[in-house]
A and B are shown apart, each in its own frame.
Chain A
Amino acid sequence: MSAPKKDHVGGWHKKLGAMDRMRGLAKYTDDLELPGMLHAKIVRSPHAHARIVSIDASEALALDGVAAVITGRDMPIPYGIIPWTQDENALALDKVLYVGDGVAAVAAIDEDTANEAVRRVKVEYEVLPAIFDPEEALRSDVKINPYSRKGNLTKEVELEFGDVDGALAGSALVIEGEYFFEGTTHAAIEPHCALAKVDPDGLVTVWSATQVPHYLHRELARVLELPARRIRVIQPPLGGAFGGKSEPFDLEFCVAKLAMITNRPVKLLYTREEVFYSHRGRHPMRMRYRTGFDADGRITAVESQTTLDGGAYSSFGLVTTYYSGQLLTAPYGFGTYRFHSRRAYTNKPACGPKRGHGSVQPRFAMEIQLDKAAEALGVDPIELRRRNAIAADDLTINELRIGSTGFLACLDAVERASGWKERRGQLPYGRGLGVAGSTYISGTNYPIYPNEMPQSAVQVTLDRSGRARIFSGASDIGQGSDTMVAVIVGEELGLPLEDVRVLSADTDLCPVDLGAYSSRITLMVGNACLNAAQELRRKVQGSVAKRWGVEKSRVVLADRQAIDREDPSRAVPITQAIEWAESEHGLLAAAGSYNTPKDRHGSYRGGTIGASPAYSMTAHLAEVEVDDETGEVRVIAIWCAHDCGRAISRGLVEGQIEGSTYMGAAEAVLEVHAVDPAHGGVHAGPSLLDYRLPTALDTPAIHALIVEAPDAQGPYGAKEAGEGPLHSSIPAIANAIYDAVGVRLDELPFTPERVLAALEEKRKRERQSPREKLPLVAQAAEAEE
């Protein structure tokens, strides 16, 4: 007799709370309203770099309905998400560092009055020279960030593994390239919003559209100079984040401070323009790569020089700088490796983590390098990638311990689904196919602030009504983490999802979780939840087994029942089973926590950064059409195979694959986040019209293919799915463009202008020297002579 059916893990689930959102009932932060609530607005700098000479708020305060005005002096303690680089203030103290830097905040009875008050705050500036280019910033004596310790260098990492120069010298083929990744931003459709109130007993509650309630909690305590126990952070349903809400922002400090001063609730909603200026998106990176190959196409050496344009603050930049090199060492083995990355301050909106933090840009460069090598060697690009694939449990060159890898299965899957073998080379001019691969972490082994405490924790209780409750610190930012924990508890306790309640992301009621970033939640919170759920399961099984006088292992919890595995006719409702267990043990409650292995990282300085319990693997295959008259690139279809270890909930995993692939495609052809130096550093297009997001008509057909190579570190073998499937989307498109029209685009995005310029360049080359049409392999051979 087979075991009773359990349909939870690996099934398809409706997302928890989705119907509330679809009926317009869910309360996002801006949907909350409290009695007597004031509205706040921030006075922002029109200059990219200036000293604040004076601030005069008297006219604003004289306006009817204005309750308070605060400036940097009201909150002078600096903060920053990384403890070693706390280089920002809630509002500028002495200097503004980019157009849009916050200078003062007002609270008034309504938005219109607050806006009028903002206009009446008089700020006198002494304009300073502004720097928009990172290389220039690194050379300049003008110091941008006053907290900086090394001029305009915010972080520098140089690591070498093996004799790179020797390996390059001995390589059969060396590909050199220079790549530029212009910045992009998150553009979640929900703008940042925060609301604060102060209780009569002094408790400050902050509701915020954040993906890191715990870090926000810590930084609020620091800047407001309050003990953490007097602050409560609640994250309401969130309208998208993608890394754009993963550190504290000025608005959270401002609403809390203004609520403390006025003793009234205060809300602040960013305008869309403010969202663009607040940024923290993908760093512009200029990357120089040299990659060596042996005659069989195995990678002998990788060498990179990268400049990161960090903008005005450090944000996560210390980590970004490491990630720009550390996360490149899978899914391919490198014979030797050296990277040198420098991050500079500039007078621009600060960059930070965007989906695929720090590693999307180098992946773009690397995968084009591989494509160039495949052509030079006359090897099929998928085959070249297969030859270089690392194996399960390999140690990478920089000492990352890879657990499971389904990378080869990912390559097989996209090759098959796209018809690569039959169609490649057979498409008409203007149509092309391109492939790329990548890897990503499932959380980081080391938390942002060093400590030995669990990175994730949940509490689960079960009561006689047959209901389970999960208190989880995790932030559901739309990715479905609430559903994920409910599926796990349902699986273990034999309950349908509708019998599982999840309360999450409330620092007063839920245990600490570090937040929704670095793709950590499924693995870490999932493991914590699994521990707690299994403890409860064992208690219930034990009590039932006692009543039945059988071995505990015979009791199965499924379908709201406890069933005897060996005699399925013997079963009791789960409520009865719980009653027996509750009678025996008292309240059925279990705490589960998870901490990462601390023995899985490189044994050198910096070797902990990039170390993860498990790594996801991805392959993308893109089909494009390039119009050589207009230069327009149309991405027709993308196949993405992603190894998530185990899909706990298939629909949610597919959704992450589709959303990531879409976002990569958008960055490839449309999106640019930049300021305009000719106009003093104003944003080049701070609106959802000028910053071009793909609509349903612009988005390619996306085929999500789930690959499962279970990892011993993950709950049920699960690894991440939220960020990995973005990376190789971009270079797959670049490689497809080359296949379509024979031009390499090493700068993003692939705009019609760039495509036309590259085509023109190619025509010129062909006219001048038809000989250069020789296959690259011949050129490479010549170059060696």
Chain B
Amino acid sequence: MSPHPPSLLLTLRVNGLDVEVAAPPHYSLLEVLRYKLHLTGSKQGCDKGDCGACTVQLDGQPVLSCITLAAQAQGREVLTVEGLAGREAHPLQDAMDRFDAAQCGFCTPGILMSAEHLLRTAGREVTHAEAAHAIAGNLCRCTGYTKILDAIVDASTKTGGGR
């Protein structure tokens, strides 16, 4: 059996730009982002849906891109960590920076994508408990989550939840 079945041609909107990309049909969204579009901000920690490092948003919902087929993103809107900041850092990035909430930073892109969804949908200041629920699918091995949760709560006071 050849490891190379014919590729699919996919059209996605990634971080606000339309892209067309050819990829093998078994490719995950994470593989397409990292290997085809060179958006390496989304990380691979396990490749089986356990760690959350690969979290991106699909039509505004956080998903684990390592267990999402790229084909499922066909015609849909993908937001990755690279698309989070505008000219200025996103308030979450700014807060994480001020709180020293990223140690190695490997979990951070995924956490940002989960937390952004929380802040946007809450539309108000969030509690530590809400923040902990929102990132419960994102493992961090460095921080004990303390400063991450502080940063998310702090950012929510700045955004009123939305962007």
**Chain A residues with a Cβ under 8 A of chain B:** 12-15, 18-19, 21-28, 30-31, 33, 64-65, 110, 112-113, 115-116, 186-191, 237-242, 269, 271-272, 477-480, 651-652, 654-655, 658-659, 661-663, 687-689, 693, 695-697, 699, 701-702, 704
Known: A28-B106, A115-B3. A189 touches B97 (CB 8 A): no
- Chain A CB within 8 A of B67 CB: no
What is the distance, in angstroms, from B51's C-beta to the closest C-beta of chain A?
5
Instruction: Give me 27 A-to-B residue pairs in the complex whose CB atoms sit less than 8 angstroms apart, sorted by A's number.
Output: A15-B100, A22-B93, A24-B81, A25-B82, A65-B3, A112-B3, A113-B3, A116-B3, A189-B51, A190-B104, A239-B106, A240-B106, A241-B104, A272-B50, A478-B106, A655-B103, A662-B146, A663-B144, A687-B50, A688-B45, A688-B46, A689-B48, A693-B141, A695-B139, A696-B131, A696-B140, A696-B148
- Chain A CB within 8 A of B125 CB: no
Q: Please give me the residue from chain B that is nearest to A17 by CB atom.
A: B105
Contacts of B142 in A (CB 8 A): 240, 478, 655, 659
Contact B97 A19 (CB under 8 A): yes
Contacts of A13 in B (CB 8 A): 100
- Chain A CB within 8 A of B24 CB: yes
Contact B40 A23 (CB under 8 A): no
Contacts of A26 in B (CB 8 A): 105
Q: How far is the CA of A113 from the CA of B93 in the complex (A)?
A: 38
Q: How far is the CA of A239 from the CA of B39 in the complex (A)?
A: 17
Contacts of A18 in B (CB 8 A): 96-97, 100, 102, 105
Contact A651 B99 (CB under 8 A): yes
Q: How far is the CA of A24 from the CA of B146 in the complex (A)?
A: 22
Query: Which residue of A21, A112, A115, A190 is within 8 Å of B102 (Cβ)?
Result: A21
Contacts of A701 in B (CB 8 A): 146
Contacts of B57 in A (CB 8 A): none
Q: How far is the CA of A27 from the CA of B104 in the complex (A)?
A: 12
Q: Please give me the residue from chain B that is nearest to A661 by CB atom.
A: B144
Query: Which residue of B98, B131, B139, B143 is within 8 Å of A658 (Cβ)?
Result: B143
Contact A23 B84 (CB under 8 A): yes
Known: A191-B45, A687-B46, A696-B145. A479 touches B107 (CB 8 A): no
Q: How far is the CA of A113 from the CA of B5 in the complex (A)?
A: 12
Q: Please give me the residue from chain A that is nearest to B42 by CB atom.
A: A24
Q: How far is the CA of A31 from the CA of B43 in the complex (A)?
A: 9
Q: Please give me the residue from chain B that is nearest to A32 by CB atom.
A: B40
Known: A24-B82, A239-B104, A652-B100. A190 touches B43 (CB 8 A): yes
Contact A24 B80 (CB under 8 A): yes
Contact B50 A697 (CB under 8 A): no
Contacts of A658 in B (CB 8 A): 143-144, 146-147
What is the distance, in angstroms, from A13's C-beta to the closest C-beta of chain B?
8
Known: A22-B109, A239-B106. A272 touches B45 (CB 8 A): yes
Q: Please give me the residue from chain B that is nearest to A275 by CB atom.
A: B46
- Chain A CB within 8 A of B112 CB: yes
Query: Which residue of A23, A189, A271 is within 8 Å of B139 (Cβ)?
Result: A189
| Chain B 29-71 interface mask (CB, 8 Å, partner A; 1/0) | 0000010001111111111101101000000000000000000
Contacts of A12 in B (CB 8 A): 100
Q: How far is the CA of A110 from the CA of B24 in the complex (A)?
A: 12
**Chain B residues with a Cβ under 8 A of chain A:** 1-4, 24, 34, 38-48, 50-51, 53, 80-82, 84-85, 89, 93, 96-100, 102-109, 112, 131-133, 135-149
Query: Which residue of A19, A31, A272, A480 is within 8 Å of B103 (Cβ)?
Result: A480
Known: A478-B142, A693-B141. A239 touches B105 (CB 8 A): yes
Q: Please give me the residue from chain A that is nearest to B134 by CB atom.
A: A696
Query: Which residue of B3, B45, B136 is within 8 Å of A697 (Cβ)?
Result: B136
Contact B44 A30 (CB under 8 A): yes
What is the distance, in angstroms, from A239's C-beta to the closest C-beta of chain B?
3
Q: How far is the CA of A704 from the CA of B145 in the complex (A)?
A: 13
Contacts of B81 in A (CB 8 A): 22-24
Q: How far is the CA of A113 from the CA of B24 in the complex (A)?
A: 13
What is the distance, in angstroms, from B115's C-beta to the closest C-beta of chain A?
11
What is the distance, in angstroms, from B33's C-beta to the closest C-beta of chain A?
10
Contact B85 A23 (CB under 8 A): yes
Q: How far is the CA of A691 from the CA of B93 in the complex (A)?
A: 30
Q: How far is the CA of A232 from the CA of B1 in the complex (A)?
A: 39
Contact B137 A188 (CB under 8 A): no
What is the distance, in angstroms, from A638's C-beta to the closest C-beta of chain B?
9
Q: Please give me the residue from chain A that is nearest to B143 by CB atom.
A: A659
Contact A478 B104 (CB under 8 A): yes
Query: Which residue of B45, B89, B149 is within 8 Å of A19 (Cβ)?
Result: B89
Closest 3 CB pairs of A and B: A24-B41, A478-B104, A662-B144
Contact B139 A478 (CB under 8 A): no
Q: Please give me the residue from chain B that is nearest to A242 by CB atom.
A: B141
Contact B143 A655 (CB under 8 A): yes
Contacts of B47 in A (CB 8 A): 271-272
Contact B97 A272 (CB under 8 A): no
Contact B100 A659 (CB under 8 A): no
Contact A695 B98 (CB under 8 A): no
Contact A25 B102 (CB under 8 A): no
What is the distance, in angstroms, from A465's C-beta to the closest C-beta of chain B?
25
Contacts of B105 in A (CB 8 A): 18, 21-22, 26, 237, 239, 478
Q: Please give me the residue from chain B that is nearest to A476 by CB atom.
A: B104
Known: A189-B53, A189-B140, A191-B45. A19 touches B109 (CB 8 A): no
Q: Please give me the residue from chain A that is nearest to B106 by CB atom.
A: A239
Question: Which of A21, A110, A658 has its CB near the most chain B CB atoms (within 10 A)?
Answer: A21
Contacts of B107 in A (CB 8 A): 189
Q: How far is the CA of A115 from the CA of B47 in the complex (A)?
A: 15
Contacts of A242 in B (CB 8 A): 141
Q: How far is the CA of A14 from the CA of B53 in the complex (A)?
A: 22
What is the distance, in angstroms, from B63's C-beta to the closest C-beta of chain A?
17
Known: A23-B41, A30-B44. A189 touches B102 (CB 8 A): no
Q: How far is the CA of A23 from the CA of B93 in the complex (A)?
A: 8
